């Protein structure tokens, strides 16, 4: 399949899953005026981890999971944090690429849509960002932590909302996790890691 076909297959599967999920629909409208934008793929170790992960199984979102994995070799995988100041081993395992928004094949001014992949046994430290965020678990499970609230273990189809600049962290234990993530407002400001002792 050609690269452009993979992008459109991914967009179609994302749209279908998004529209079937009440929390995502209520979070923000799926953009209807998307424009395709030039994108140079960037490979990172997490791409290969995702493509080789046999423990990701989705019943309700199998088409989306398949499209995410099929597109993995031609996506722009992100190094979310500065490798000079943060643990590169963590960043090599944390997988993220945009579908809609900066660095993705499609552009929108009102929504950013991306995937987050975490293999089993990975801790994504406490971080913040001004964008409001909605996670929807496609497959696997993870423990979602938010400042001032009890931890929640989420699995396929479940979601988590993060308010603007609300500290949060994520941890996988025995299973990996693949999620579809949406941002609204303040789309251009990247996340930053924080010290939990200062929360």
pLDDT tens digits for range 106-128: 999 999 999 999 999 999 999 99
Average pLDDT for the chain: 95
* Average pLDDT of the residues in 73-80: 95
User: For the chain, which residues make up each domain, given as ranges?
Assistant: 3-198
3-state class (DSSP) for residue 153: strand
3-198 CATH fold? Jelly Rolls (2.60.120)
pLDDT at 37: 97
Quote the CA–CA distance of 160 and 166 in Å, as a whole number.
12
pTM, two decimal places: 0.96
How buried is 32 (Cβ within 10 angstroms: 0-12 exposed, 13-18 middle, 19+ buried)? exposed
Instruction: Tell me the C-alpha to C-alpha distance, in Å, between residue 180 and each of 1, 2, 86, 103, 195.
Output: 23, 23, 24, 16, 26
């Amino acid at each position: 399949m050609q690269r452009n076909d993979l992008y459109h297959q991914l967009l179609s599967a994302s749209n279908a899953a998004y529209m079937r999920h009440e929390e995502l629909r209520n979070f923000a409208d799926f953009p209807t005026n998307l424009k395709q934008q030039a994108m140079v793929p960037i490979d990172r170790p997490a791409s290969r981890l995702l493509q080789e992960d046999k423990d990701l199984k989705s019943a309700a979102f199998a088409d989306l999971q398949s499209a995410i994995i099929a597109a993995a070799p031609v996506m722009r995988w992100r190094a979310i944090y500065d490798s000079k100041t943060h643990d590169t081993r963590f960043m090599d395992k944390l997988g993220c690429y945009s579908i809609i928004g900066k660095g993705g094949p499609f552009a929108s001014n009102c929504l950013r849509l991306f995937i987050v992949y975490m293999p089993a046994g990975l801790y994504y430290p406490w971080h913040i960002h001004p964008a409001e965020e909605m996670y929807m678990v496609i497959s696997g499970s993870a423990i979602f932590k938010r400042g001032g609230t009890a931890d929640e273990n989420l699995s396929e189809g479940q979601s988590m909302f993060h308010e603007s600049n609300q500290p949060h962290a994520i941890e996988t234990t025995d299973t990996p996790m693949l999620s579809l993530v949406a941002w609204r407002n303040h789309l251009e400001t990247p996340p930053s890691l924080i010290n939990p002792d200062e929360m």
